């Protein structure tokens, strides 16, 4: 998917006409002035691969103080002089209660639908609280260009505050550089863990996601009632990355039958086999049998080095396979999983066809820990993967965001002290 920078028009792309502390749009071409730093700032963002889309409220048309034709003329002039892809306009007033007048996110959502934009990887730049709130509601990160306006901000909180579009572009590019450098240097592959088709397809559009895993517990939580229909539906859309589907019997003979059926669903399918059944009986004979038959396996629910050693040996010489160690569950017991995972890497390294999965991570840091010990793969839920945008975030800015969050939440709650 594409990334975009959405820009308010008046006060961001061109000078606003400020009267009595309130900004107004230029009335005609003679009043249209572009700040000196704007062209270079937009070129820098365009060079970084962003679409540049203006989103502007123009209620003066319905108020009778401006014509639609003049709004179009001003927009055309801006697009001719600047590297903007388009400018989207809401002509409504507050009384119309439309879904496109900022702070509603409609203009951004419409643009995302038209251009295939990943809103979570995009930014909104504005000079008023309505711009920031629209960006927040759309799921973008937001940048406020501070102006000398007399208006109440309410709950809108930008990710950054700057004094010009040049500074806004620099801030955005710093976020991109630090995050992409850190992520591009990782060797561990990230697999998305989940059972919601829409979320899986969203993750499939992310080039950082190299595969998928699911399990009966996740599928039950997602309300899946027909296991096979769900799997085939997902596989019809995701054909080029590995996906693991788990057997759900407690009897090894039935596990084997299910594995032989599941493997037929696609060349990218790995069959998940638990390391034991519920009676603590080892699945190693079945694992060895299925691997010898050429079935790609993901041996799961492991938490000890002995299990890793034995499962890897059972998979030796077979087709590509995974062994999943539930490092997050190990951490839940108060044990540090990092030394165990480092040792597991050494054990698995004896078998070229086997890759080690760091399963059930609890925080974003686990991705970097898995990479540091040489783990091949880490699975992560959408909640963790969404935090990838925080990688490299300036800690001073993060600190300020936290202070603002506490302050705003206390204000919303109406807390007071009596003396």
Say how far apart CA 313 and CA 349 lie, in whole Å: 11
CA angle (265 as vertex; 260, 271 as ends), nearest 5: 50
Active site (catalytic) residues = 272
Helical H runs in 319-394? 327-332, 337-348, 365-373, 382-385
Which helix (H) or strand (E) covers residue 68, if one does? helix 68-81
Three-state SS at 336: coil
Is the separation of the CB atoms in 71 and 64 below 8 Å? no
Say how far apart CA 71 and CA 89 lie, in whole Å: 9
Return all residues near 302 (Cβ < 8 A) that are at least 6 apart.
275, 308, 311, 323, 324, 325, 326
Say how far apart CA 168 and CA 125 lie, in whole Å: 7
Is the separation of the CB atoms in 305 and 339 below 8 Å? no
Say how far apart CA 404 and CA 167 lie, in whole Å: 21
Give the residue carrying structure tokens 């050693």: 309
């Amino acid at each position: 998917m594409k990334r975009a920078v959405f820009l308010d028009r008046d006060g961001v792309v061109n000078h606003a006409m400020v009267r009595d502390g309130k900004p107004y749009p230029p009335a005609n071409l003679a009043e249209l002035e572009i700040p000196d730093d704007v062209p270079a700032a937009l070129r820098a963002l365009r060079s970084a691969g962003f679409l540049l889309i203006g989103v502007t409220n123009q209620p003066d048309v319905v108020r009778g103080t401006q014509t639609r034709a003049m709004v179009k003329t001003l927009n055309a002039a801006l697009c001719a002089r600047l590297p903007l892809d388009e400018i989207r306009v809401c002509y409504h007033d507050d009384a119309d209660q439309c879904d496109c007048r900022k702070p509603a996110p409609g203009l951004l959502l419409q643009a995302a639908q038209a251009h295939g934009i990943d809103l979570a990887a995009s930014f909104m730049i504005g000079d008023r609280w309505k711009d920031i709130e629209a960006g927040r509601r759309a799921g973008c990160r937001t940048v406020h260009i501070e102006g000398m306006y007399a208006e109440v901000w309410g709950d809108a909180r930008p990710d950054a505050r700057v004094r010009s579009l040049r500074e806004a572009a620099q801030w955005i590019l710093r976020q991109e550089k630090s995050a992409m450098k850190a992520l591009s240097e990782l060797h561990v592959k990230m697999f998305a863990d989940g059972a919601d088709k829409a979320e899986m397809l969203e993750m499939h559009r992310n080039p950082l996601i190299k595969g998928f895993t699911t399990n009966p517990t996740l599928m039950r939580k997602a309300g899946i009632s027909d296991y096979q229909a769900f799997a085939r539906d997902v596989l019809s859309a995701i054909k080029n990355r590995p996906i693991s589907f788990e057997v759900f019997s407690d009897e090894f003979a039935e596990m084997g039958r299910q594995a032989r059926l599941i493997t037929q669903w696609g060349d990218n399918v790995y069959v998940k086999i638990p390391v034991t059944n519920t009676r603590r009986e080892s699945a190693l004979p079945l694992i060895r049998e299925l691997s010898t038959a050429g079935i790609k396996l993901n041996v799961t629910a492991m938490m000890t080095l002995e299990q890793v050693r034995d499962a890897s040996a059972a998979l030796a010489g077979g087709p590509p396979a995974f062994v999943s160690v539930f490092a997050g569950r190990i951490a839940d017991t108060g044990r540090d999983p990092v030394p165990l995972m480092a040792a597991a890497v050494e054990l698995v390294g004896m078998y070229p066809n086997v890759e080690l999965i760091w399963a059930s991570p609890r925080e974003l840091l686990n991705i970097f820990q898995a990479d540091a010990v040489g783990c091949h793969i880490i699975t992560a839920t959408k909640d963790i993967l969404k935090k990838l945008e925080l990688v490299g975030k300036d800690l001073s800015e993060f600190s300020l965001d936290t202070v603002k969050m506490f302050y705003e939440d206390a204000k919303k709650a109406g807390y007071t002290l009596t003396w």
